[in-house]
Each structure stands twice: as C-alpha cells, then as structure tokens.
C-alpha cells in the first residue's frame, strides 16, 4: 500500500495507493480490516474501503487507522514479549501460506470437481486472511503519520547523538543484519554471471542474440550453467509477481544479466563488497549500541525496529509467491467459466460457488467492476458499488489540494546520501521503460516488481512513508539515497525535470 493523502473533509481520508491489483486481493484485505483483525486487536477499522479503476485507492474514516494503531501500541507496552512473538508467527504463517498455495495449485486441476475447485479457492482465502490478521500489525505500528517505532528509536538517539549524525545512527540501527530475499536472489544471479564470464563467446552472445538462441548456445557449451539458470528462474519466478504478475521468466533474468554487462559489473568484486558491507554494518551496529549505553528497554526498541523492518518485506515476498502458486486455480476457474484471468479476479468469494455450479456468470457485471468499482466495509456491512453508484460515493471522498508552486519537498530520511538527476516517475512495471541510469526515481511507493528500475536510480523519492516501507528497506540494501513520506512528490515533480535530493537532510529541491 502506498501514498498517504489527507482529505479536506473531516470524515474521510485516502491513506494508500496501489498499482497492478484487482478485487481478489483487495476483498481479502478489506475483510481482514473489517472482520478478522478484531480477533487480534479486539476492534476493526470502522468504515473504510477501496476504489479500483486504473489503480487502487484506499480510504478510511479519519481516525480508523489511528485508533487501531493506538490499541496496538497499548498491547505492546503492556506485554513487550507479545509483538516479537507476532513477528515470528508472521514469518511462519507466510511460509505456511506458500506451501498451502503450492499444494492447492498443484496437480491436474482439470480433473477436479467444481465443488473441489471452490473448496481450494476458499481455503486459500482463509489462509491468506489468517496471515493478514497478524501481518497488518507491522503497517499499523509504523506507517505514514503513525510512527511508533521510528519515534521510539529517535527518542533514544536524539538526546545522545549530534543532530547531524542522528539519521546515520537511525539507519544503521534499524537495518536488518539478515539478508532479504531480494539480496539472496541478486547474489545468486551475480554468482551465475561470474560463471558465465568464463566464456567470452557466451558473454558476447548474451547481448547480441535472442533469448532462445542464447540459451541454445549455453546448453551446448555449458549444460551445468544452463541447468542452474533454469533452476534460478524456477526458484525466483514469483519474486516480482506481487498480486497478479506477471511472474519473472527467462527473458526477465536474461535482461538482468544484460544489465550487469551494460553496467560493467564485476560480480566477484560486488559479492566481496556485499560481504564486507554486511560485516561493517554489524560492526557499526555493535559500536553504536556500546557507545549509546542503552537500557534493556531501549535495546528492545532497537531490536523490535530491526526485526519489523526485516519481517514486513519478507511477508510481502512470501505472499507474492503464494499468489503466484495459486494462479493455476484461478486459471482453471477462468477456463470453466469462459472468462479471462482478469475477469475471474473480480468475482467475490460468495459468488464463486454458484458460478462454478452453473458454469457461467454475468460477464457484463465483471467488466463494469473492472472499469470502476468501490468495495467498502462499514462496521461489518460490505458493499460493492459500480458505475454511477461508485461515482456518487467517490465524490464524498476528496483528496487534498496540492500547492501550485513547490520549490522544496521534505520527508523522512530512509538512506543517507546526496544525488542529482532527472525525475522519472515509476509506479508500474510499464513505467520502467522510461527509466535511465542516474535518474531520480519518484513513486507513490516502490514494490518488488519495480526492482529493475530501482537499481538504476541515483536516488529514490516516494509519497509513502514509514520505517518498514519497501523504498526505505531496499534503499538501505542498495545504499541509494532515499527520501520517503513526501506525500506529494508524484503530484508536483514533473517527468524529466532536474532535482537535487539531499537524503541526509530529507529534502528534495528543484535544480
């Protein structure tokens, strides 16, 4: 979820935006906030929902999110051991969801009865909701203006550290010491690239022939490398999938290898540098903790921030993998109903059984939903609005007015550093074609399916804020200067204009 934008009205505000998403996952998240999260926090989010058009826009009653946030904080402060337990459960449930989805999407689905297909659909939904019940706690704890973890860490640092060094200490102490799945994938691919460089003819062919011709050459020259490459594609296909793909295929990873060559990446040196950077991070972490002389409670806050920063993106990548493994079930449903995969993703769970038993559903209704719909939950009462009903409702939700002339934007430091370059606004995978090395990547929020563009960025600027946002985490991993939480960067910065990003001061200026 991305991009906090406050409303002019006191009742509603838009609190997030997402791209490449449909009613299938949206309904899961709405049902979690409306019903199942009450099992964990004893309260739901009140009135909220999502508008789906060319992208998803999430809205809440003004204090719905804040009320859940405060309830969560009280729970943590009463029992400091509770939230670390939740983090462990998020990881366990995430890995469990992946295995459940792999099982549900496996085998010959054409032989299943319609009732069994519906059972698998509902079982995935049940397990996904169970994960969302606890996974949303990470976002509730530190997202946009509700920044409990960030505030707690800064409260520890500000009295003890010189003002100009607070951002550096904050970044170091909240960066996980465990490798993320993003890092694991890239390091494995760097290893493959290092092996490929042993064969100059193959390295030249990488950039000069088609994907199929290149793989034919590799299979003949180095069958072992070919086998390892195909294994990499299989293991990391779900990496950029998020909610509905596309998944990474052979072309995707060959393009990443070509990018290594274009940038003249030395894979052995890069891998050694990564190892050294991780060691330096661990050393600085120990040094800062020793220097600060923290109490046990303060150390717990640091550890909690670090663990949350690791678990939240891990959960998202595990969930991405689960959606990927479950896609064959949706494809089989689509085949039986004569629908496209996109149309199936706009069926509600309560409609699925009847549609499968009848062998058809109202295609026009699905197409209307795809064009524009609003899915709301008002204290347990769910509504799906389409067409004019959706338009009438949405007129009650007004986004904040953006100032006409903004010379400087401020946000929060995610990764220190300074860079200048031309703005490239990237919200979807399709936008990445405009990205050039050295551009300043500006986005509502980044996500795993934007990683090829992120690697080319001289700096990252996002509307979305939060210690555990994807941009905050990946910018530290790649050591790219990053300012998050500007709220309006995508609205006021223009494609191609030159800007200066002083991430250490959390400022973006027009050059």
Q: Are residues 465 and 392 in the same domain?
A: no
pLDDT at residue 1 in the model: 38
**Cα–Cα distance between 196 and 272 in angstroms, integer?**
18
Together in a domain, 4 and 64: yes
CATH of the domain at 454: 3.50.30.10
| pLDDT the model gives residue 447 | 86
Measured CA to CA in angstroms, residue 296 lies from 172, 299, 347 at distances of: 19, 5, 50
Residue 264 maps to a domain: no
Parallel/antiparallel/unpaired status of strands 146-147 and 56-61: unpaired
DSSP code for 247: P
Within this chain, do residues 448 and 381 fall inside the same structural domain, yes or no? no
Q: Per the domain annotation, does 6 fall within a domain? A: yes
CA 233 to chain centre: 20
Structure tokens at 412: 């929060």
Q: How far apart are CA 8 and CA 13, in angstroms?
A: 8
Write down the pLDDT at residue 398.
61
pLDDT of residue 9: 40
48 in the same domain as 24: yes
Q: Out of 346, 379, 401, pick the residue that ends a domain.
A: 401
Domain count of the chain? Answer: 2
Helix (H, G, I), strand (E, B) or coil at 107: coil
The answer on 420 and 498 residing in a single domain is yes
The position carrying tokens 């003004």 is: 62
Q: What is the domain extent for residue 458? A: 408-510
Extract the tokens encoding 147.
């920044």
CB 95 within 8 A of CB 322: no
Listed in sequence order, the DSSP H helices in 402-462 are 451-454
Q: Is residue 287 part of a domain?
A: no
Show which of 401, 423, 444 is a domain's final residue.
401
Same domain, 503 and 414: yes
d(CA 181, CA 311): 11
Mode of pairing for the β-strands spanning 418-425 and 440-443: parallel
Question: Can you read off the two tokens belonging to residue 229?
Answer: 């490459």
* Residue 11 belongs to some domain of the structure: yes
Residue labelled with tokens 């953006």: 402
Is residue 138 in a domain?
no
Q: Please indicate, yes or no, if residue 151 is contained in any of the structural domains.
A: no
CA distances to 21, 25, 141, 302, 443 from 138, in Å: 21, 18, 5, 15, 21
Report if residue 361 sits inside a domain. no
Let me know if residue 266 belongs to a domain.
no
pLDDT by residue for the chain (511 residues), tens only, comes to: 333 333 334 456 777 888 889 999 999 998 888 777 888 898 887 788 899 998 898 887 757 778 888 999 999 999 999 999 999 999 999 999 999 999 999 999 999 999 999 999 999 999 999 999 999 999 888 876 778 888 899 999 999 999 889 989 999 999 999 998 889 999 999 999 999 999 999 999 998 888 889 999 999 999 999 999 999 999 999 989 999 999 999 999 999 999 999 889 999 999 999 999 999 999 999 999 999 999 999 999 999 999 999 999 999 999 999 999 999 999 999 999 999 999 999 999 999 999 999 999 999 999 999 999 999 888 778 899 999 999 888 887 766 677 767 889 999 899 999 999 999 999 988 999 999 999 999 999 898 889 889 999 999 999 987 888 889 989 998 899 999 989 889 999 999 999 999 999 999 999 8
Residue-level pLDDT at 7: 34
d(CA 340, CA 363): 10
Of 386, 401, 416, which closes a domain? 401
**Which residues have a Cβ under 8 Å from the Cβ of 426 and sit 6 or more positions away?**
432, 434, 435, 441, 442, 443, 446, 450, 453
């Amino acid at each position: 979820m991305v991009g906090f934008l406050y409303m002019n009205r006191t009742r509603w505000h838009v609190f997030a935006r997402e791209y490449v998403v449909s009613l299938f996952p949206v309904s899961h998240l709405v049902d979690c906030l409306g019903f199942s999260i009450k099992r964990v926090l004893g309260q739901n989010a009140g009135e909220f929902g999502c508008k789906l058009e060319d992208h998803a826009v999430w809205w809440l009653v003004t204090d719905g999110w804040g009320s859940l946030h405060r309830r969560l904080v009280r729970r943590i402060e009463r029992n400091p051991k509770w939230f670390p337990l939740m983090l462990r459960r998020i990881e366990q449930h995430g890995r469990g969801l992946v295995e459940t989805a792999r099982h549900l999407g496996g085998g010959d689905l054409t032989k299943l009865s319609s009732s069994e297909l519906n059972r698998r659909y509902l079982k995935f939904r049940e397990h996904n909701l169970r994960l969302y019940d606890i996974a949303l706690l990470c976002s509730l704890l530190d997202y946009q203006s509700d920044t409990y973890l960030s505030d707690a860490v800064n409260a520890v640092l500000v009295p003890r550290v010189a003002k100009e060094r607070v951002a550096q200490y904050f970044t170091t102490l909240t960066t996980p010491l465990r490798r993320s799945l993003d890092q694991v994938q890239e390091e494995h691919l760097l290893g493959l690239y290092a092996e490929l460089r042993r064969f100059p003819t193959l390295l030249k062919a990488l950039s000069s022939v088609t994907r199929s011709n290149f793989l034919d050459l590799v299979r003949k020259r180095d069958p072992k490398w070919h086998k390892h490459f195909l294994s990499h594609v299989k293991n990391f296909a779900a990496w950029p999938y998020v909610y509905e793909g596309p998944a990474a295929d052979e072309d995707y990873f060959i393009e990443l290898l070509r990018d290594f060559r274009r940038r003249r990446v030395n894979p052995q040196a890069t891998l050694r540098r990564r190892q050294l950077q991780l060691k330096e991070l661990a050393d600085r972490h120990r040094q800062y903790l020793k220097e600060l002389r923290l109490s046990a409670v303060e150390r717990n806050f640091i550890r909690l921030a670090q663990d949350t920063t690791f678990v939240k993106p891990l959960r998202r990548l595990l969930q991405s993998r689960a959606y990927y493994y479950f896609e064959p079930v949706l494809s089989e449903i689509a085949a039986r109903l004569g629908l496209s995969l996109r149309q199936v993703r706009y069926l509600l769970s309560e409609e699925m059984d009847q549609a499968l038993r009848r062998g058809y559903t109202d295609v026009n209704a699905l197409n209307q939903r795809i064009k524009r719909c609003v899915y709301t939950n008002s204290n347990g009462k769910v509504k799906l609005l389409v067409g004019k009903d959706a338009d009438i409702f949405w007129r009650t939700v007004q986004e904040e007015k953006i100032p006409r002339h903004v010379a400087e934007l401020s946000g929060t430091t995610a990764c220190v550093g300074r860079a200048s370059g031309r703005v490239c606004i990237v919200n979807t995978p399709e936008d990445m074609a405009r990205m050039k090395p050295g551009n300043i990547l500006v986005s509502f929020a980044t996500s795993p399916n934007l990683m090829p563009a992120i690697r080319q960025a001289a700096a990252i600027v996002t509307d979305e804020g939060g210690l555990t946002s994807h941009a905050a985490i990946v910018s530290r991993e790649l050591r790219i200067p990053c300012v998050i939480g500007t709220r309006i960067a995508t609205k006021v910065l223009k494609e191609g204009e030159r800007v200066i990003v002083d991430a250490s001061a959390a400022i973006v200026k027009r050059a």
